[in-house]
Amino acid sequence: MKTLHLLGAGAYLPWSIGGSIVSCHRLCQNLQALGTEVKVAIHQHPSGREPLGNHIYEGVPLRILPPIPDLNQRIALYKRETEDAVGFQQFLAEYQPDVVHFHDFTVSAGITHMRLAKEVGCNVVMTYHTPGNSCSQHGLLYQGKKVCNGQILLHRCSECRLSDAGMHPTLANLAALWSPTWLEAENSGKLNRLLTTRRMTEIFRDAWLGMVELVDALHVHTEWVEQLVKLNGVPPSKVYFFRTGGPKAIQASTKRLQTDDCLQVVFAGRCSAIKGIHVVVEAIERLPSDLPVKVTFFSPNWEEGNYGRSLQQRISGNERFELKHDVPNSQFLEQLADYDLWVVPSLWLETGPLTVLEAFAAGIPIIGSRLGGIAELIRDGIDGLLFEPGNSQELAAILERFVCDREQLKRLKANVKAHRTMADVARDSLNLYRRLKNLNEAKNCISYFNK
């Protein structure tokens, strides 16, 4: 069995990191352990940071293809199609995979690539890793505030994007009703983009439906995603639900929590508003100044946007906060195992999330948002606690309770059990690949005898 795994432009280790990237990498390593041949392919980022050609990262073969020429063009972004998937067709002919597994749905890993894979007889699998796969606003947050059910509706989705961009809701509602057909969508003017919003939503919806037609299997990690994709026209026969997996469990810390110990809290993940880092900061700021608690952030990207830079300025000089840079993958859990609590305060619907499984593998209880994949994994009151998304007051009360009642924390910690690993996911994935290959061979056989 030969498998090819495709991600968005520049989206692979060691040049980029994220939950879907790490999951793909670990899946490939575990597929190799099962005797499956794997290769990863990505198009080069426009910055040129990844050298073209063949590479190997931690044993996984990787091909860096030339950059997509229309990567940042508006229509291409919404259609998830490119005028030229440079080098991809040639790579397919060279490698001849049985399965092409998409870990993203973008212009650099989208409709064009799927069509090319189908043309040469490959089975196509896509894993729904992030809400941006089906949401043009990317976060499945209606008007940037309220969790959405995810159904792609022309008016609502258009109005949502305009409202989230700062337009008054009444004007957004009107602008979402119609797009003049004579306007050029690629025009960069603000008024033009406003007036073509509905058309872009329609193109985005059609791209989703095109993907649904092309894929042989859509893999989902969580129950809420399973419901969402079916709501958006994916036949149940194409939906395969098996949860993602974390790393192997390590020996949990056995340090004894004294009542006067400082409560050590950890956050791990990228620096983004939807990850809710500011909620943690607000919660700590609400606590009495003499309460012994400290939060350490293992989080990249703090320097790349206003959100991260403003947070850094806000916590600067406050000894209750510590910011650490990325830790090598192989050392990650070992460095985090001595923390008392892991906080996952996301404001959007997580599709795993990997960070919950990493916490459990390290033997650490979790305080997480009562939302999406987080709520599906945490057993509230058993191996963690759930709180209302964005409610820093409730989070602060939970933290204060743990500082004062270490016995409750010990009970939660004793109940933490490691969940599925990527070895389990690899076995499920391989079974899926084999099923699709057998079905494909059966169809070819029937077609042959019907000639």
pLDDT (tens digit per residue) in 234-253: 999 999 999 999 988 887 66
Q: Tens digits of per-residue pLDDT, 201-220?
A: 999 999 999 999 999 999 99
Reduce the DSSP state of residue 210 to 3 states and report it: helix
- To the nearest whole number, what is the mean pLDDT of the chain? 92
Residue 345 to residue 115: CA distance in whole angstroms: 39
Q: What tokens appear for 144 in the block?
A: 């940037």
Amino acid 445: pLDDT:
62
Identity of residue 209? L
Q: Span 99-124, mean pLDDT?
A: 98
Residue 149 to residue 53: CA distance in whole angstroms: 41
**Does residue 256 have a pLDDT over 70?**
no
Rounded to a whole number of angstroms, the CA Rg of the chain reads 23
The pLDDT-based confidence of 17 (bands split at 50, 70, 90) is confident
Amino acid 255: pLDDT:
57
The residues near 230 (Cβ < 8 Å, ≥ 6 apart) are: 236, 239
Residue 384 to residue 412: CA distance in whole angstroms: 6
Task: Calculate the dihedral angle through the C-alpha atoms of 308, 267, 324, 351, rounding to the nearest 10 degrees.
Answer: -70
Amino acid 72: pLDDT:
92
Q: Does domain 2-127+422-449 have CATH number 3.40.50?
A: yes
Amino acid 85: pLDDT:
98
Count of Cβ atoms closer than 10 Å to residue 174 Cβ: 13
Q: What tokens appear for 21 in the block?
A: 């990237």
End-to-end Cα, the chain, rounded Å: 28
Task: Give the residue with greater pLDDT, 335 vs 150.
Answer: 150
Count of Cβ atoms closer than 10 Å to residue 17 Cβ: 16
Q: Tens digits of per-residue pLDDT, 339-386?
A: 999 999 999 999 989 899 999 999 999 999 999 999 999 999 999 999
Q: What tokens appear for 357 in the block?
A: 């499984």
Q: Which helix (H) or strand (E) holds 126?
A: strand 123-127
* In contact, 416 and 382? CB cutoff 8 Å: no
**Does residue 330 have a pLDDT over 70?**
no
The pLDDT-based confidence of 334 (bands split at 50, 70, 90) is confident
Amino acid 257: pLDDT:
56
Amino acid 410: pLDDT:
93
Calculate the alpha carbon distances from 121 to 90, 218, 248 in Å: 14, 18, 36
Reduce the DSSP state of residue 61 to 3 states and report it: strand
Whether omega for the bond prior to residue 353 falls within 30 degrees of 0, making it cis, is: yes
Task: Give the residue with greater pLDDT, 438 vs 393.
Answer: 393
Task: Calculate the dihedral angle through the C-alpha atoms of 347, 217, 108, 209, rounding to the nearest 10 degrees.
Answer: -80
The residues near 240 (Cβ < 8 Å, ≥ 6 apart) are: 217, 218, 219, 220, 432
Count of Cβ atoms closer than 10 Å to residue 430 Cβ: 19
* In contact, 313 and 340? CB cutoff 8 Å: no
* In contact, 229 and 220? CB cutoff 8 Å: yes
Strand partners, 2: 37
Q: What tokens appear for 78 in the block?
A: 């919404």
Please provide residue 298's backbone torsions phi and psi, each rounded to the nearest 5 degrees.
Answer: -100, 95
Residue 101 to residue 280: CA distance in whole angstroms: 36
* In contact, 38 and 72? CB cutoff 8 Å: no
Kindly report the three-state secondary structure assignment for every residue of 398-422: HHHHHHHCHHHHHHHHHHCCCCCEH
Residue 12 to residue 31: CA distance in whole angstroms: 17
Nearest by Cα to 123 from 431, 434, 426: 434
The residues near 153 (Cβ < 8 Å, ≥ 6 apart) are: none
Amino acid 451: pLDDT:
56
The DSSP-derived string for 436-451 is: HHHHHHHHHHHHHHT-
Same fold, 2-127+422-449 and 263-415: yes
Calculate the alpha carbon distances from 369 to 96, 108, 222, 343 in Å: 43, 32, 15, 9
Amino acid 418: pLDDT:
78
Residue 394 to residue 286: CA distance in whole angstroms: 10
What is the domain class of 263-415 according to CATH? alpha beta
Spans of all domains in the chain: 2-127+422-449, 263-415
Q: Give CA angle at 109 (105, 110), nearest 5°.
A: 60
Identity of residue 109? A
Beta strands 60-65; 37-43: pairing state: parallel
Strand partners, 142: 146
Nearest by Cα to 105 from 441, 374, 351: 351
The pLDDT-based confidence of 447 (bands split at 50, 70, 90) is low
Task: Calculate the dihedral angle through the C-alpha atoms of 340, 342, 343, 346, rounding to the nearest 10 degrees.
Answer: 180
Amino acid 441: pLDDT:
74
